[in-house]
Amino acid sequence: MRKTLLIAVWLLMAVALLAYHYGPGQARLALDNAAKKISAARACEAKEDWEGAFEAWTAALAATPKEATTTRQKLRLAQAKTRMYTGELPEAMFDLEALLTEVEGAGAEKGFCDEVRGTLGGAQYYAAWLMRLEGAAADEWLIPAESARQHFRLLAEQADNQELADTFKKNLESAIRLTRMDLSELQGLPLPKCCSGCKNVSQKCRSQCQSQAKKETEPEKKDARGAGFNEIPKGGS
């Protein structure tokens, strides 16, 4: 009897361990893996190995469970910050635009929303800088420049303390100065570190604008009966 009881207890423990392993245990393993990737990303950033850091942040994001929304948003911000240094500034800017829309829509804490907005403003500022150097038309490079100005102005007006307000005011002044600066003066300035290696910024931004405009104006697709694909056709039984 005692032997049978011990076997039953052992089997129950085995079942419990298996349940943990394939349930909460998997989530814990995923988070542990993500933590290792985060440490690797920070180590790469310290060495200015931006490609390695971007790969590590991407791996950390992939390892983080989808239900860990806040963690994933913070990882996406870190990923975008690093991406700015890999020669993919426009791509990082587009990622940040999507992230800002998401975090504000989800009611994320103000400090984090401000950090995303400030990073996006910086990316747009540098994109406008590079577009001017590439000879883009004013009506093109002014789009990210003006957007950066608006972001920095909003941040300066709503800053939680004077130190932050002063920082955002300086960024605001830089964004305004960029729009008023003569091209020859801009060409004489040293290129910011995050701008090195960036190419075809104007074309990438142009393609993104065209793609966005197409999405906004594209008519809803209809099926043969005149109803949208996700609509129930009216009439009939």
Tens digits of residue pLDDT in 150-190: 999 999 999 999 999 999 999 999 999 999 999 999 999 99
- Residue 83 one-letter amino acid: R
For residue 55, which of 15, 88, 97 has the smallest C-alpha distance?
88
Give me the pLDDT at residue 91, please. 95
Contact 141, 132 (CB under 8 A): yes
pLDDT band at 132 (very low <50, low <70, confident <90, very high): very high
Q: Where are the domains of the chain?
A: 118-206
pTM given for the model: 0.78
Three-state secondary structure call for residue 237: coil
Assigned token pair, 155: 């941040």
pLDDT band at 21 (very low <50, low <70, confident <90, very high): very low
For residue 200, which of 124, 120, 119, 133 has the smallest C-alpha distance?
133
Give me the pLDDT at residue 27, please. 61
- Please state, in angstroms and rounded to a whole number, the distance separating the CA atoms of residues 206 and 189: 25
> Which residues face 222 on adjacent strands?
228
**What are residue 108's phi and psi, to 5 degrees?**
-65, 160
> Which residues face 228 on adjacent strands?
222
CB neighbour list of residue 71: distance below 8 Å, 6 or more residues apart: 34, 64
pLDDT at 6 > cutoff 60: no
- Residues 187-234 pLDDT 10s: 999 999 888 888 889 998 888 777 776 666 666 554 433 333 333 233
Radius of gyration of the chain (CA): 25
- Please state, in angstroms and rounded to a whole number, the distance separating the CA atoms of residues 158 and 156: 6
